[in-house]
Every structure is written in C-alpha cells, then in structure tokens.
Amino acid sequence: MTLTPHGGQRPLYLDVSTERLRSNMAALRRRQSGQKIWAVVKARAYGHGLDAAVQGFKEADGLALLEIEELAQARALGWKKPIVLLEGLFTESGLQEAAHFQADLVVHCAEQLHWLLTKSAQAKEFLQGKARVWIKLNTGMNRLGFTACSLDAPGASGANNTLLALGTDLEKLRAVLGPGRLGFMMHFAQAESKSDSYQALSVFHKALTLLGHKPQDEPISLANSAAILSQPLACSGWLRPGILLYGSSPFQWKLGGSEDTQASQALPMEFCTASQLTTQLLAIQELRVGDGVGYGLRYKATRPMRIGVAALGYADGFPRTAPDGIPMMILGKRCPIVGQVSMDLIALDLTEQPLARVGSSVEVWGDTLPLDEVAGRLGTLGYELLTCLTPRVQRRISSDFLSLG
C-alpha cells in the first residue's frame, strides 16, 4: 500500500517569501526613485495571500485592490496607509464602508459620480473624510473610465460616459472634496507598444487640460508593471505595480526568438520570484510499450518507461488543457507531463530522473523552473497561473521558502 506523505495531508504547497516581496519593492524604489507606489494586491495578492503582501509591502505608499472584503482584511492586518478601490464601488451602499475604512475611490462612470453627489448620509460621511477620489479616464482600452478619445467625435456630447458628460459635476466634486483629494488615473491597453502608449498618453494629457487639471493639488496615476518596464514617460505620479512585485514578467515568455526579443520578455535581474509551487510523487507506474496514461489514454508509451503520479490537478488551478511535454523539476532534472491533467493528479515521465521515488519533491515552478517559462509554454501569463490557484493549495508564508527545505 502506498501512503500519502505527511500523514494524509495533501503535499501541495505554494510557499511565499515575504523577504522576496520586500526585496522586489526595494528594487522598484531604486528604479523609480521619488515616485509614490500603490502595491497592487487584488485577487488575494495575485494568489500569494493578503497577509503575506501586507508584510512584504510595508514600504509601499498604499495598497490597491478591488473588494470591500479585501479592504477590511488589509485594515485588520494593520495596514494604516492609503488603500484604493481600483474599480470603485459596485453599489451606492458601499460608501458607508469606504468611509469607515478610509478608502480612496476610483470613479469610472457617471453613476458612481452621482452617488458621491446625492447628498445622502453615506456620501456626506465619505466626503467629510480624508480619502481621495480618482477619476478614471478611458484613453483607448475601452473597459472602464470616462471616454477621453471621443472628445472631438461627432455626437459625443450625448454619450453618458464621455468627459463631456462630467459637465459641472466635476467642479462640484472638486468643491466638496477640497484641495489634494482629487486625482486622475488611466490604464494602458498595450504598454509594450511605444506608439500605442504615446497615443494613450497624449489623449490623457489633453483630457487633463480640458478638465482644468491642477498639477500641484491633483495627483495622477498611469503606470502598471508593463508600463513601468517599457514606458519611461508614463512613470510619474503614483505607480501601480502588480505582477512585477511578485517576481513575474508582465510580458509573455516565448520559446526562441532573437536575443533582443528574449531580453524584452525577461524579468529584470533585480526582481526575484516570490513564490514556489511544489508537490510530491504519490505513486510510480511501470509502463510497457503501447500502455496509455490518464483519461482518454491520450499519451501512449513508445518504450518501457516509468511515470510518476503527483498531487496536482485542475481542481488546484493547474490547467486541464496542459499538453504533453510541459516540464516540472524533480531532483534537479526536468520531467515532462504525459497524459491528460485530471482533477487531482498529474503524470510525469521519469526517464530523465531514475532516482525519483514516492515522496520525491516536484517543483511546478520556482527558482529552478521559472513561472514565466511554465506560463509561456502553456500559452498564458504568470498572472493566470498564480491567481487560478484554488484554496486547497496550502499557502506557507516564511521569510524565504528556501528555509523550508
């Protein structure tokens, strides 16, 4: 009988290093001296856990997230600096909680602006506080924001969510907020493209002029991780790094290509991966020629071979669509996936690692197998792999996961 390691506790861990989070924040400070930094911690801090992020990002000027629940948790963990709700409020009733937790609000549509100007008790409580309101401008991405691109377009004045729709409401908001409490924000659709980014910046600054922007009193926020790395002109005001702080590139890794292309995809050397996903082998199977592996018997052995079965599946967040050949690391050797990823298990070809045994550690990503490479081979980005990890993946927070052995 094969026993599951650790006395029945499933051996699948995301180890998170608070020291590496801190180091990445310090590296960004060195690159962008003098700029304010929102550390983006939405989606449970990109899967790392909000508690780890609050510890690791102590030197940030503020946190950026989405939900009131995350906001309350960050305050409960002791975060006293600013926190901004990146999508603003989803209902007017959220104003009371935003006021209670002293959250900055993004306003991206006429409805949200109306909630602040209704003279309700909740609006009054928020407006009498000290938190900022950030007007989000749509400069071409066409997700959230007052559309700045259509200022000169015929018929734009009739649209509900253009800058023209702000009308006198913006001046009313300025009046009730007072100096220093109004800011402006945008988001790049293609930060890796200089021409598209310059166009978006041009639209943004034109909109600021038309809106009577007061540079001394009204801060701006432009750059996410991709823009920080590729668009120096965007690195002013409050920066909004996300994936960069967790040690992953915002650009998709691609196999091959020129040295220049590979360099542009790579994470700068001063940043380090802040997490490691590991599992263990639960069983070893000996295959004959022609034997299949997994559901649908997608993979067929062309030679006698050993496969290891590890505790990892799509219910943990690893893609069911992963093809044969995606590598994982066992005792310093790359061992590829063979067969269909199932809900709880994954099979690996042990040809290159004859020393592997039940209980051997499997690195899904980490220091020796970069997250960005794994994501690139899967046709996605590190963002998706991190944020798709489900709650049954055990999180272990330490100063550095190398100390866990």
Which residues are marked as active site? 42, 295
Beta 275-287 vs 361-365: how paired, if at all? antiparallel
404's tokens = 């866990």
User: What 3 state SS string does 140-176 have?
Assistant: CCCCCCEECCCCCCCCHHHCCCEHHHHCCHHHHHHHH
Residue that is written with structure tokens 């780890």 in the block: 52
Whether residue 226 contacts residue 192, with contact meaning beta carbons closer than 8 Å, is answered with yes
Q: Is 384 helix (H, G, I), strand (E, B) or coil?
A: helix
d(CA 255, CA 233): 30
Whether residue 243 contacts residue 273, with contact meaning beta carbons closer than 8 Å, is answered with no
Q: Is 65 helix (H, G, I), strand (E, B) or coil?
A: strand
Rg (CA), the chain: 24
Type of residue numbered 48: H
Q: Give me the DSSP letters along 209-277.
A: HHTT--TTTS-EE---HHHHHH-GGG--BEE---GGGGT--SS---SS--HHHHHHHSPPTT----EEE
Quickly count: other Cβ atoms within 10 Å of residue 261's Cβ.
12
